Structure 1
Amino acid sequence: MNMYPYRFAKFLVSTLVFVSISISISAAVPAVSQTAVEFHGALTVSGNQIVDKQGSPLSLAGPSLFWGNKGWATNGKIAPDEYYNADVVAYLQKNWNASIIRIAMGAESRGGYLNDPAGRMAKIEAVADAAIKQGMYFIVDWHSHRAEQNTEQAVTFFEKIAKKYGHTDNLIYEIYNEPLADTDWDTVIKPYSEKLITAIRAIDKDNLIVVGTQKWSQEVDKAADNPIKGFSNLAYTLHFYAGTHKQKLRDKAAYALSKGIALMVTEWGTVNANGDGQPDVAETHRWMDFIRANNLTHCNWSLHSKLEGASILTANSNPNAKWTDENFTASGQMVKKIVQGWHKVDYSGFQTGRNFSVKGN
């Protein structure tokens, strides 16, 4: 696959073999190649849905990169931040049809942004710039479990991101990856988030902001019962690992949606919550059905070659993205098929002479 499916949304039908009708409809269907961002444009929250520039709910699919920290080599080999490059982004768009990628930048942990701000920002920019070039959305994630302990540093970080990328439709902010189970929504996470949102909105008035929720971004029901008010274009984070999190967590998500908040699955895995084990195929399919039914955007954890079940790549796969099926783990093979098939093109427009549209989003 050499092009994102949206790039098939409008093209010159007269090039097809149906000569008898080609002349009559070719003028109505221009030859245009569209990327995901060109097609959907700016993302906004309407009720409990994230919608595109046409006002239509959408569901984007792609991977999350691993922690972008400096020097975290696996078994002394390939460090996760080596996959933070333009070749990887281009591969995901062209070969997986990915419409989104998540930049999981470690914050206060060893080798994270607070330890190496210039180096880590360069890694973020490498991925973000490549995503813009490929017409993909990208999430800038403050990958932390105790973000409230460095609130001012988080504010400064996202002010830099907003100034550099806030003018684009590609950018999505994720201001707190996974608050811990004992980090209270009402008294800690919500006030932290309000401060971060205020700082971002002073620079970027409209790009989507995703807010982490209590207990490793699972207790979306607590956020739904006491949502952030006074700001627009906010969604809340839902994370799951199919081997561990099942119907009970889907019920929480359904409750949150019923209360009127929008959700985004910025991280999910096919395996257990510890990141290991074999894919739970049946439960992954149940989650994908739920995600599609509710138009949720999702990013799989993670694009790395660490020796664990959640990794998309097999050990020491080269960061140059010249990969074959042998480079993908059992989870990676499954995720590849999910992402590749997520966006379906409705070709019924050919028979009617209407422009082609994206179906299933």
Structure 2
Amino acid sequence: MCFRRSLARFWAAGLLAVSAGVAVPGTASAGAGALTPVQAHGRLEVCGTALCGQDGKPVQLRGMSSHGTQWFEHCLTGASLDVLARDWGADVLRVSTYVQEDGYETDPERFTDLASRVIDQATERGMYVIVDWHMLDPGDPHVNKELATRFFTEITERHGHQDNVLYEIANEPNGVSWQTIRSYAQDVIPVVRAGDPDAVVLVGTRAWSSLGVSEGAEESEILADPVNAGNIMYTFHFYAASHGEEYLRTLARAADELPVFVTEFGTQDYSGDGPDDFAMAQRYLDVMAEKNISWTNWNYSDDVRSGAVFEPGTCSGGAWADPGALKEAGVWIRDRIA
């Protein structure tokens, strides 16, 4: 198998340390005799349409996405990630660095340091990490390509040696063609590869990462003109109260032809707010389980909107493990991760 580098040494050391009861990086979330997600699966790679572990077998990662770190940095601490890794049993954390909205463009050094700090903390707890370049408005990813180049260069300089980091290079492209998105990916993937040659790269899709459905397209345009790079996956986002049968059918169909990773979804409407549609969300989860599609839910914060898993004030109070701190959507998604 490809994409191995130093994995064998890390894997052997981790297994020996666990059996001996010795703490090593990446083992903090494991109970006695248990393996963390990274120890269990090692360096990930794309095999066919699946995400696979180092043994070549398909893997389904399940976890959470942060909200924007410019607003909710205080929700991402050692204690909160202990809850996510140990109590919830999450495999993966998506770290969302917004570009606009008082995000990265205002202070690149600060937001790079912030993302790097959270990557380190999630790594210490044995989780995989998705580095999310959270561009949204403007919808053309080329607008922020120079900033993206700087960000991914600096992040891979710090973390490119690790076996647990994936890179989402454009959150939700919108208002532009697939060809425009594809050309951006062809420019930015080599930037990531320069610092982390073996990592899985996640490519945003047309129309807010809906595989084009929200702008009247579908996955066929990607199949006809895929990104010319290996070890990549295409992202799909949905919100169960807004995105019904057509979106679900597209995801199920596309996953048979393309490697897909659902890096963002909610049980509410597309604003991340409003009533939960747990029935529709469960149908999505059933399809994703059937097809080994990995996912992260939006979002691990105490934002006032219903899509945030914690009640407002939880992060300031540090009561992440309190069952009463969870909103209805938080209880639902915690149970499905666990």
The TM-score with structure 2 as length reference comes to 0.85
Q: Distance in 2 between matches of 1:219 and 1:199?
A: 24
Greater shift, 303-312 or 204-213, is seen at: 303-312
Q: Which residue is 1:227 aligned to?
A: 226
Q: Please point out which of 148, 168, 184 is paired with 2:142.
A: 148
Structure 1 residue 123: Cα displacement: 1.7
Please tell me whether residue 132 in structure 1 is matched to residue 123 in structure 2. yes
Q: Please point out which of 269, 278, 291 is paired with 2:266.
A: 269
Q: Distance in 1 between matches of 2:107 and 2:55?
A: 40
Q: Secondary structure at the match of 1:303?
A: coil
**Contact 1:48 1:257 (8 Å CA) reproduced:** yes
Q: Which residue is 1:184 aligned to?
A: 177
Q: Secondary structure at the match of 1:318?
A: helix
Please tell me whether residue 68 in structure 1 is matched to residue 69 in structure 2. yes
Q: Which residue is 1:331 aligned to?
A: 329
Query: Partner amino acid for 2:43?
Result: A
Question: How many residue pairs get matched?
Answer: 300
Q: Please point out which of 159, 165, 173 is paired with 1:165.
A: 159
Structure 1 residue 243: Cα displacement: 0.7
**Contact 1:85 1:123 (8 Å CA) reproduced:** no
Q: What's the CA shift string for 1:178-197, capped at 9, x where partnerless?
A: 011x21111x1110111000
**Contact 1:140 1:173 (8 Å CA) reproduced:** yes
Q: Distance in 1 between matches of 2:320 and 2:166?
A: 28
Q: Which residue is 1:197 aligned to?
A: 189
Q: What's the CA shift string for 1:229-281, capped at 9, x where partnerless?
A: 2x21100001001111122112212332233x200011000111121112111
Q: Which runs of 5+ in 2 are unaligned?
A: 1-13, 20-31, 213-218
Query: Partner amino acid for 2:171?
Result: N
Greater shift, 35-44 or 241-250, is seen at: 241-250
Greater shift, 140-149 or 319-328, is seen at: 319-328
Q: Distance in 2 between matches of 1:302 and 1:225?
A: 33
Query: Partner amino acid for 2:170?
Result: Y
Q: Which residue is 1:302 aligned to?
A: 299
**Contact 1:84 1:126 (8 Å CA) reproduced:** no
Please tell me whether residue 288 in structure 1 is matched to residue 285 in structure 2. yes
Cα gap change, 1:249 to 1:126, in 2 (>3 Å): same
The TM-score with structure 1 as length reference comes to 0.79
Q: Distance in 2 between matches of 1:279 and 1:322?
A: 21
Cα gap change, 1:32 to 1:311, in 2 (>3 Å): closer
Q: Which residue is 1:114 aligned to?
A: 105
Q: Which residue is 1:238 aligned to?
A: 236
Structure 1 residue 315: Cα displacement: 1.2
Q: Secondary structure at the match of 1:323?
A: coil
**CA RMSD in angstroms, aligned pairs only:** 1.9
Structure 1 residue 201: Cα displacement: 1.3
Q: Please point out which of 246, 251, 266 is paired with 1:248.
A: 246
Aligned runs of 1:88-99 on 2, under 5 Å?
88-99=80-91
**Contact 1:35 1:136 (8 Å CA) reproduced:** yes
Q: Secondary structure at the match of 2:315?
A: coil
Q: Distance in 1 between matches of 2:319 and 2:102?
A: 24
Query: Radius of gyration: which is bigger?
Result: 1
Please tell me whether residue 38 in structure 1 is matched to residue 36 in structure 2. no
Query: Partner amino acid for 1:111?
Result: D
Q: Distance in 2 between matches of 1:324 and 1:247?
A: 36
Q: Which residue is 1:84 aligned to?
A: 76
Q: Which runs of 5+ in 1 are unaligned?
A: 1-6, 13-30, 73-79, 341-361
Q: Distance in 2 between matches of 1:244 and 1:322?
A: 29
Structure 1 residue 339: Cα displacement: 0.8
Q: Distance in 2 between matches of 1:100 and 1:252?
A: 24
Q: Distance in 1 between matches of 2:287 and 2:253?
A: 13
Q: Distance in 1 between matches of 2:123 and 2:319?
A: 18
Q: Secondary structure at the match of 2:51?
A: strand
Cα gap change, 1:122 to 1:202, in 2 (>3 Å): closer
Query: Partner amino acid for 2:234?
Result: Y
Which stretches of structure 1, 4 residues or longer, exceed 3 Å deviation after superposition?
Answer: none
Structure 1 residue 110: Cα displacement: 2.9
**Percent of aligned positions that are identical:** 30
Query: Partner amino acid for 1:166?
Result: G
Query: Partner amino acid for 2:119?
Result: A
Q: Distance in 2 between matches of 1:284 and 1:54?
A: 31
Q: Which residue is 2:56 aligned to?
A: 55
Query: Partner amino acid for 1:92?
Result: L
